[in-house]
Amino acid sequence: MQEDAIRFDDRVAIVTGAGNGLGRSHALGLAARGAKVVVNDRGTALDGSGGSISAAAKVTAEIEAAGGVAMADEADVTDFAQVAAMVERARERWGRVDILVSNAGILRDKSFAKMGLDDFRAVLEVHLMGAVHGAKAVWDIMRAQNYGRIVFTSSSSGLYGNFGQANYGTAKTGLIGLMNVLHHEGQKNDIRVNILSPTAATRMTEQYLAAEDKALLAPETVTPGLLYLVGPHAPSRVMLCAGAGCFARAEILETEGIFLPEAERSPEAVAQRFAAISDRGRHAPLPDAWAQTKKYVAMARRMAGR
């Protein structure tokens, strides 16, 4: 392995939803590069029903057979007390927690017209609140040790939308807001927070994929991106998209926009100037929420001073 290889020796990682698919691949990848890994999975069906520690135990056995160090855990990510207890078990055994990969998820797809609110809430509880619970449980530990790496698993359904996934898309977009805020709050303690938006052949997607595409979309084609995002020199506040060995970066951008003098501030004027408002000739990501306010104030002052 090259001299600048990304390693995780003496690091402790928690991967939720690690019994299958992407989570399994991430756990194996972390362990192969020296991390001690908590393999968390409740072993439920895709809709969240049922449960067994067998999936987590199997991945743990794979890691140990390859010479790695791991422990299986079946904490329910929707229950903060269980998540906090899992984190404490990891710290009691290995002394610290350095990495959180929030990957656990379920699906309850239906069109919005047919979707019950219970199915909506259930998906938010696992994907969004599950990520919140994990981050909250490790946050003080990471602050105290002045080191932490957190990755939330988002989705193109959250970034761009997908029919029948209002619950899933809402949860996945919510993770972007969580990342943005925790990035700012974690900076002084070297806690770096990122998003991974993967596409892979897993239990969640295999029914929708053509047979010839499944081999290309193996979860292992995504994991190199995850390992970078939790590495010692990781960026922060990045949305990395990955699949089939391809990697891209998604960003939320804002156009330069226009200024309307007070006498012209009407919905009709907005409609008439909407093409100019939407002009992508000049657009950029904004570093924080106040940057938007400052941008508008500066534009208004500049235009008023003409």
Using alpha carbons, list the distances in angstroms from residue 138 to 13, 34, 250.
11, 20, 26
What is the signed CA dihedral for 20, 171, 254, 101, rounded to 10 degrees?
Answer: -40
* Backbone φ and ψ of 286, nearest 5°: -105, 140
Amino acid at 285: P
Q: Among 202, 197, 227, which Cα is nearest to 213's?
A: 202
Active site residue 168: yes
Distance CA 267, CA 251 (A): 29
Tokens coding 86: 């899992």
Using alpha carbons, list the distances in angstroms from residue 37 to 91, 199, 299.
11, 23, 50
Choosing from 168, 208, 228, 296, the catalytic residue is 168
Q: Answer for the pair 224, 246: CB distance below 8 angstroms, yes or no.
A: no
Let me know if 260 is exposed, middle or buried by CB neighbors in 10 A (0-12, 13-18, 19+): middle
Catalytic residue set: 168
